[in-house]
Amino acid sequence: MKLDRFLTGSLLSGGLLLSSYGFAGEQIMVDKAEYEQLKAAVKLLMEESKTSKQAVQDAQQAASEAAASAQAASKEAERVAERGRAAPKKVASTGGRISGNEFNPAISLILDGRYTDIDNSDLELPGFQLGGEAGLPDNGFTTGHNELVISANIDDKFYGALTAAIVYDEGETEFELEEAYIETLGLGHGLTLKGGRFFSGIGYLNSIHDHAHDFADRPLVYDALFGGHLMETGLQARWVAPTDFYLSFGAEVTSGSEFPGGENDNNNGLGFFVKTGGDINESSSWQLGASYYTTDFDVREAGGHSHGHGDDEADNELLDGDVDIAGIDFVYKWAPNGNPKQTNFKFQAEYFVRDEKGHAEFTEGLNSAEADYDGEQEGFYAQAIYQFMPAWRVGVRYDHLEADNRFINFVDNGIDLDEFLEESGLGTVDDPNRTSVMLDYTPSHFSRIRLQYSEFDNGLDDTEDMITLQYIMSLGSHGAHSY
Amino acid sequence: MRIQIIAAALAALLTVSMEAQAKLNVFACEPEWKSLAETLGGEQVKVTSATTAFQDPHHIEARPSLIAKTRRADVLICTGSELEIGWLPLLLRQSGNGSVQEGQPGYFMASEQVSRIEVPQQMDRSMGDIHAGGNPHVHLDPHRLLTIAQAFSARLQALDPDHMDDYQGRLENFEARWLTAIESWEKQAVALKGKKVVVHHKNWSYLLNWLGVEAVADLEPKPGIPPTSSHLVSLLQVTKAEQPEAILVAAYQDDKGARWLADKSGVPLVRLPFTVGGNEDAGDLTSLYENTLSLLLSAVNGS
């Protein structure tokens, strides 16, 4: 087919060339003999094209015959095999057909939909300026985080993956790039480099996408300190030590511009993490990690995805900021004889402490207030999940946050301290905490239906109840989940 | 003082890794391949298995300990054909080990050395947990196993040419023993020809094809989907009509469904080791086959 097209193309361009000769007639006189010569040449070319076409058809015929006989051969091989004789090295393929589809990357689509019963879906966590994707679901039916994941080994040296979230929110469809990175495969010596946009390797849950979490919402500490996940654009290096037990180190240099960082000129984000773990016995295993993240920035705009807020022209900024976060994470898993199919148990807990400094400015219309701010905020969650029979799991989680924010040099330009503390989100009241229980049903690897109940006390208002019924379904190839 | 401790720790780390380098580190995904690698590698190899006979090789977790083992491996021997798709790709990516990545000499997939049966004509998730490359559970066909042994020995010889003769010698020894064993097993297996059994998952297909035994029903309604009560009830009728000799369950499988069917139908439940270590008698590949055969034969003779 290609040859065919090529010949037609060359004929056409030959024709064009001829006609351009003709139209340029005033300068270049084409005499009759030359014209005849060209005509003959074209005729010859057309003849050649005909014979080539025939050749192509013949080749196609031969190829399809070969494919058919190969198919027959592979069927025969299978028959031989079924009689119990191993036919060495004969892959049961459908013949020598070359199809570009074989090299398509693994594509998986995760559908997430939910019904939520909630009175107030504005997330407020006094003492914490919110950013990123921190928020609560809307009341009623919503589609959640539908994710498209495309990944493949690029060649023998690189792996690449892209994860995009398709979110429908208040009448608009948003397409958010969560991850788009490449990673080395064969660097050796335990070393792996990653570049692009990715979920930072800090903590345990940070690099795990929401659809693989065990609850319908993220732990509060992730929403409060990282705006959901710490997303980064930059470089990551990981090294696994050649030891009998698992020990790995990671470092990241990133733009540092995503929440809790902000605009800066120097790629100020720096992250470090170390993980270790092992088996206690055949049935149980554990992993322990420690991580640290720091960035500093010129400006950070606070206020995340909070839905349904009034459109007041408020401006809530942190200037000349400096953020440091340290954390530890622990996971323990148990399954009888290490076989999680029937029953299994998982405990996980993470603790983070954030230290941030900066100049806080809150402006509303012509009024404003500002202060130098120095805050120390911490939070943890602990959760346990038990699969009591195949496909059925129950889980419980407790979330807790605590903030200690200090201010000096307060300036009142029409907004007093109380209002500033409330509006900027930096004023502390009581410690927010939340208790959640869930039950989920996972008939196969590809589908899950979950019912969750949470009792949330943000330290400000009355306790709020939330009930969520959620489905998470995965279409297409489904990559392995990390430990 | 502190520096001395750190130095001592580092020295210890180094010794550990040096010692390991003297032998070829083999990472086997399943116990049958561990046993094969030990047989063919002898004292030149140090083999660890990622799973035990009591774990379902489809579903284990990419645990930290396994990442550490993959990191130090010189060669992998796994079933392949997507059996380990839920965890092996992750171990490979997280290990940072260049020599065992796909396409490298240190990457050896046993089922991909031989032809496979039950290659689906069409792929759809509604058909359950099917593998595009065909049924991966090839290790219970002794003829295929021999082909795999030959290919793996060639791989060991390529990776460690200094000990080529040792590997070749062990292979020839194994071939001789194995061929004799096959002959005797096939003689014994005549009694099994044409008999019927009920299976739990298609992990017995190669064994049954070799022995000429027919699987008349599967406890799983679809591959990888656990038995449901309605499916079991329908199996009861099939069992009564077909009169199978046994219900086969692997060491790692839950036998609740099988027990129910056995109680209701009177067909004996036979728990087979499935792989090396699946019961006390199945200590290596040869005894795995011997034990499997004798359990099947006694089930047939008992009824």
Asked if A277 lies within 8 A of B87 by C-beta distance, the reply is no
- A window 126-155, beta carbon within 8 A of B: 153
pLDDT score of A100: 64
Q: What is the mean pLDDT of residues B58-77?
A: 95
Contact between chains at B64 and A83 (C-beta distance less than 8 A): no
Question: Which chain B residue's Cα is nearest to A191?
Answer: B96
Asked if B65 is an interface residue toward chain A (Cβ–Cβ < 8 A), one would say: yes
User: How many interface pairs between A and B have CB atoms less than 8 angstroms apart?
Assistant: 185
- Contacts B86 to A, Cβ<8 Å: 445, 480-481
- Rounded to a whole number, what is the distance in Å from the CA of B5 to chain A's nearest CA? 17
Distances, alpha carbon A108 to alpha carbons A146, A150, A159, A477, B225, in Å: 11, 6, 16, 5, 21
pLDDT of residue A377: 96
pLDDT digits (tens, 9 = 90+) for B90-130: 999 999 999 999 999 999 999 999 999 999 888 788 888 78
What would you measure as the largest C-alpha separation in chain B, in angstroms? 79
Interface test with B, best of A341, A441, A478 (most B CBs within 10 A): A341
8 Å CB contact between A268 and A256 = yes
Q: Which residue of A has its CA nearest to B113?
A: A89
CB atoms inside a 10 Å sphere around CB A399: 26
pLDDT of residue B122: 81
pLDDT at B1 (0 to 100): 52
Does A151 have pLDDT greater than 90?
yes
Residue of chain A whose alpha carbon sits nearest to that of B65: A278
Task: Write out the two tokens for A175.
Answer: 């397409």
Two tokens at A217? 């919402």
Chain A residues with CB-CB distance to B55 below 8 A:
337-339
Interface with chain A: mutation pick from B46, B49, B61, B213, highest number of A CBs within 10 Å: B61
Extract the tokens encoding B244: 């199978």
Identity at B287, one-letter amino acid code: S
Quick one: which of B257, B240, B250 has its CA closest to B282? Answer: B250
Q: What is the DSSP letter of A231?
A: E
- Average pLDDT over chain B reads 92
- The H-or-E segment that residue A434 falls in is strand A433-444
- Closest among A26, A67, A124, A88 to A461, alpha carbons compared: A124
In this structure, chain B runs to a length of: 303
Give just the sign of the alpha carbon dihedral A335, A340, A346, A352: positive
* Structure confidence at residue A37 as a pLDDT band (50, 70, 90): low
- Of the candidates A88, A285, A338, which has its C-beta nearest B52's C-beta? A338
B111 touches A at CB < 8 Å: no
> Which stretch, A41-55, A276-290, B115-129, has highest mean pLDDT?
A276-290
CA-nearest residue to B225 within chain A is: A444
| Nearest chain A Cα distance for residue B128, angstroms | 8
In Å, how far is A273's CA from the nearest CA of chain B?
Answer: 15
User: Is there a contact between A301 and A257 (Cβ–Cβ < 8 Å)?
Assistant: no
Instruction: List, for residues B233-257, the tens digit of each pLDDT value.
Output: 999 999 999 999 999 999 999 999 9
Q: What is the pLDDT of residues A421-470, one digit of tens each?
A: 988 899 998 999 999 999 999 988 899 999 999 999 998 878 999 999 99
Look at B65 and A77 and tell me if their CB atoms are within 8 Å. Answer: no
Lowest model confidence (mean pLDDT) among A44-48, A183-187, A318-322, B269-273:
A44-48
3-class SS shares of chain B: helix, strand, coil, % to 5: 55, 10, 35
Predicted confidence band of residue A156 (pLDDT cuts 50, 70, 90): confident
Are residues B200 and B257 in contact, defined by beta-carbon separation less than 8 angstroms? yes
Partners of residue B97 in chain A, C-beta under 8 Å: 188, 190, 240
- A73 has a chain B CB within 8 A of its CB: no
Chain B residues with CB-CB distance to A278 below 8 A: 64-65, 68
Backbone phi, then psi, for A28, in 5-degree steps?
-110, 115
Chain B CB within 8 Å of residue A76 CB: no
pLDDT tens digits, residue range A229-271? Answer: 999 999 999 999 999 999 999 999 999 999 999 999 889 999 9
- The CA distances from residue A268 to A138, A295, A302, in Å, are 35, 5, 19
Stretch A16-33: mean pLDDT, rounded? 44
Render pLDDT for B218-232 as a digit per residue (tens, 0 to 9): 999 988 888 888 999
Of A185, A475, A483, the CB nearest to B61: A483
For residues B75 and B92, give the distance between their C-alpha atoms in angstroms, rounded to a whole number: 12
Asked whether A299 and A317 are in contact (CB, 8 A), the reply is yes
pLDDT of residue B11: 61
Q: What are B277-299's pLDDT values in tens digits?
A: 999 999 999 999 999 999 999 99
pTM above 0.90, yes or no: no
DSSP secondary structure letters along A261-294: S-B-SS--EEEEEEEEEEESSSSEEEEEEEEEEE
| Residue in A with minimal Cα distance to B110 | A89
Nearest to A109 by CA among A480, A475, A478, A479: A475
Residues of B in Cβ contact (< 8 Å) with A337: 52, 54-55, 252
Put simply, whether A94 touches B (Cβ < 8 Å) is no
**Spatial separation of the C-alpha atoms in residues B219 and B249, rounded to whole Å:** 10
More confident residue, A461 or A278: A278
Closest CB to B147: pick one of A88, A333, A481.
A88
Per the prediction, chain A carries an average pLDDT of 84
Query: Are B114 and B147 within 8 A, CB to CB?
Result: yes
Q: Do A333 and B61 touch (CB under 8 A)?
A: yes
- For residue B40, what pLDDT is reported? 98
What CA–CA distance (Å, rounded) separates A467 from B180?
Answer: 66
Q: Which residues of A touch B201 (CB under 8 A)?
A: none
As a whole number, mean pLDDT of residues A358-363 equals: 94
A455 pairs with which residues across the strands?
A: A435, A465
The backbone torsions φ and ψ at residue A322, rounded to the nearest 5 degrees and listed phi first, read: -145, 120
Asked if A98 has any chain B CB less than 8 Å from its own CB, the reply is: no
Q: Do B97 and A190 touch (CB under 8 A)?
A: yes
**Joined tokens for residue B129:** 């947990």
Indicate if the pLDDT at residue B149 is higher than 60: yes
Q: How far is B60 from chain A (nearest CA, A)?
A: 7
Of A246, A444, A475, the CB nearest to B65: A246
Run of H or E including B293: helix B285-302
Chain A residues in contact with B93 by the CB 8 A cut-off are 159, 183, 185, 192
d(CA A477, CA A462): 44
Q: Is the pLDDT of residue A23 over 50?
A: no
- pLDDT for the residue numbered A33: 57
- Say yes or no for a CB contact (<8 Å) between B56 and A341: yes
Q: What is the DSSP letter of B1?
A: -
Asked if B228 and B128 count as a contact pair (C-beta separation under 8 A), the reply is no
